[in-house]
Structure 1
Amino acid sequence: MKKLALILVAFSIVATFAVRASAETLLRFNVWVPSLHFVVVKGYKPWAAKVEKATAGRVKIQFTTKSLGAPPRQFDLAKSGVADITWGVQGYTAGRFVSAEIGELPFNGDQAEALSVALWRTHNKYFAAADEYKGVKILGLHTHSPGQVMVNSRKVEALADLKGVKIRVVNPATSQILKLFHGVPVRAPAPKTYELFSKGIIDGSFMTADGVLAFKLGKFAKYYVEAPGGLYNTSFFVAMNPGKWNGISASDRKAIEAVSGEALAKQFGAAWDDSDRRGQKLVRGSAKVTSIKGAGLAALKTKLAFLEKDWFKKVKAIGIDGPAALKYMRAQAAAYK
């Protein structure tokens, strides 16, 4: 009897752990930026903690120690299930996510948190019906702080000085801007920037101040040209494999959505703003900064107006009212508190 009792107790313990294990979902989040990058420390991980708390520990997120694929492959990694959750840059696959190009336009705003929340609201109001993210569950969208241009080995104190200068481009908007000023484009993801500078492959890069800090580019930032609201910006997505999403209970999906979407945009945007403030100090301590303003800024806005017009045409083809969407997004960002 004593032996039988011990067997029953052991069976009960195993069964309890089995039930507990079956009730938990472990999601693998692919990481392709340095593990100490602020978006990991102040974006991914706090959000993952909120997911775990919101689901009472039933859904947990584990981060990869090595990327499962190159930065441009992030959407497809989530779609195919190679990763459960990915964070990616729409502009790394130019032309695939046309609606997201609204977030890349110049002069959109100076605060990543405000613009990120505005982008998410605009997506829901104007873009969701176009279903450009078919094949994944979109958990959030956001932008970074205003993007400018930094140069190392060539004297650049105005955008006109970019002629013949090799510059890393980020997305369609930066490619078009560089083309307008007769620069030489080099396409590569942000984590490659240090290597490209070190090997002399590029003279400069479109970059945020926080990027100068995060990717340790201070020694390469000899010249820095900036404009209010940014010469460009970048849109990001957080995507989840639909099979994994549907495998989670309805109540836990609802809980995850409550800490994602606008809440995720706010958190990731705030992380960018915080890092940007520190990056600005670094840039101003290492580079000669040229701020475009006054008549020069007005002339630049006129010169770059074609970027908005071109985007309006592209999204019209998929049933989106571009002028209304852009007006709405900028108004939402301006009114955000």
Structure 2
Amino acid sequence: MKLLARTTAFLLIATAGASAQNVELRFSTWLPPKHGVHEALQNWAASIKEKSGGTISVTLYPAEQLGRANDHYDMARDGIADLSFLNVGYQAGRFPLAEAVHLPFTVANGVGGSKAFDSWYRPHAETEMSDVKFCLGFVHEPGTLHAKKEIRSPAEISGMKIRSAHATMANFVTTLGGTNVRVSAPESRSALESGVADAVTFPWESAKIFGLDNVVSYSMEAPLYVAGFAWVMNHGTYDAMTDEQKAVMDEHCSTQWSGEIGSTWSVHEKAGHEALKTKAGHTVYELTAEETAAWREAAAPLRQQWINGAGIDDAQGVFESFEAALEAEGAKVE
């Protein structure tokens, strides 16, 4: 009986010790549950659970359940969420180096663009996002201008009200004489319906998910811009993990996984692109070579503005290193 009691006690202690190491991570995102990027997030979470022997699980809190889209960096910093999904341009000027990815006509595709952005920005994140553990960065397939009318020339932006994807596109709009409408992605449809906005810059699948295709009829066929995103983690959450669990998280906070996220999301964005092209009453129009050249010329001054405002030595060289990373991944707009 004494042997049985001792064995039982030992098992209870061991079980308690094992359960104490179990970690449930709250992952907050402002995107709706049906968004394509969540498939990538679920794959990522499943891999973490498997590699950690079931000791790390990830629970998704989508659609701003834990806080507003603009607050997601602070939510991870303050522990409101263990991990959060950050649009690096939602708070203008807070992450100036990361915003290099937002310059128009720079990133050609989502997969190579994600890997290039992650590998290039990762060392800079150590200082620019020091309040959190930078997990990974990625981009979507190039987004474009969706509007209530066909817009072929940058001169036509003058006088228009446009919801911009991030601060760089907002700057572009105002430089062209338009008015920037400051609303997050979930608020964009109501802005269009109410007349607060005449057009939006948006990725393709996201335009459908948020119902924008029901209030705009024209989409420009051009790699106008991408948005940069990061998954960031609360330092305390990471520090409380065992060494083995930290190793699992480090494996999943990597450039390799950045490419996986970009690849999965890319499939959904391309499907959204095709859906808009074939939707009755919706026109996806191509620009001529001359029209494209005019847009790129209009966007060119933004690069020098980024260099002047980056706040680091040799910003020109830093941007060129980003372009080199894009070229190496086959993701540079030529």
Give the TM-score normalised by the residue count of structure 1: 0.89
Give the counterpart of 2:246 among 250, 253, 261.
253
CA distance in 2 between partners of 1:39 and 1:334 (Å): 22
Deviations 1:252-304 (A, max 9, x none): 21222222221221122112210121111222134222322412222322221
- Identify the residue that residue 165 of structure 1 maps to in structure 2: 160
CA contact (8 A) 2:122 2:136 kept: no
4+ long deviations beyond 6 Å: 4-10
Cα displacement (A) at 1:325: 2.3
CA contact (8 A) 2:21 2:242 kept: no
* Matches for 1:48-197 after TM superposition, within 5 Å: 48-64=45-61, 67-124=65-122, 127-128=124-125, 131-152=127-148, 154-197=149-192
Counterpart code for 2:162: I
Change (3 A) 1:296 1:31: closer
Cα displacement (A) at 1:8: 6.5
CA distance in 1 between partners of 2:256 and 2:105 (Å): 24
Give the TM-score normalised by the residue count of structure 2: 0.90
Change (3 A) 1:88 1:297: same
CA distance in 2 between partners of 1:67 and 1:244 (Å): 20
Change (3 A) 1:15 1:319: farther
Counterpart code for 1:30: S
Cα displacement (A) at 1:6: 8.6
Root-mean-square deviation (Å): 2.3
Matched, 1:332 2:334: no
Change (3 A) 1:211 1:273: same
Counterpart code for 2:90: Y
Give the counterpart of 2:22 among 24, 30, 37.
24
Change (3 A) 1:157 1:300: closer
Change (3 A) 1:124 1:32: closer
Give the counterpart of 1:304 among 299, 308, 324.
299
- Identify the residue that residue 285 of structure 1 maps to in structure 2: 278
- Identify the residue that residue 200 of structure 2 maps to in structure 1: 205
CA distance in 2 between partners of 1:53 and 1:263 (Å): 17
Change (3 A) 1:285 1:163: farther
CA distance in 2 between partners of 1:335 and 1:217 (Å): 27
Structure 2 unaligned runs (5+)?
none
Matched, 1:215 2:240: no
Counterpart code for 2:278: G
Change (3 A) 1:296 1:156: closer
Counterpart code for 1:26: E
CA distance in 2 between partners of 1:183 and 1:171 (Å): 15
Counterpart code for 2:320: A
CA distance in 1 between partners of 2:297 and 2:220 (Å): 18
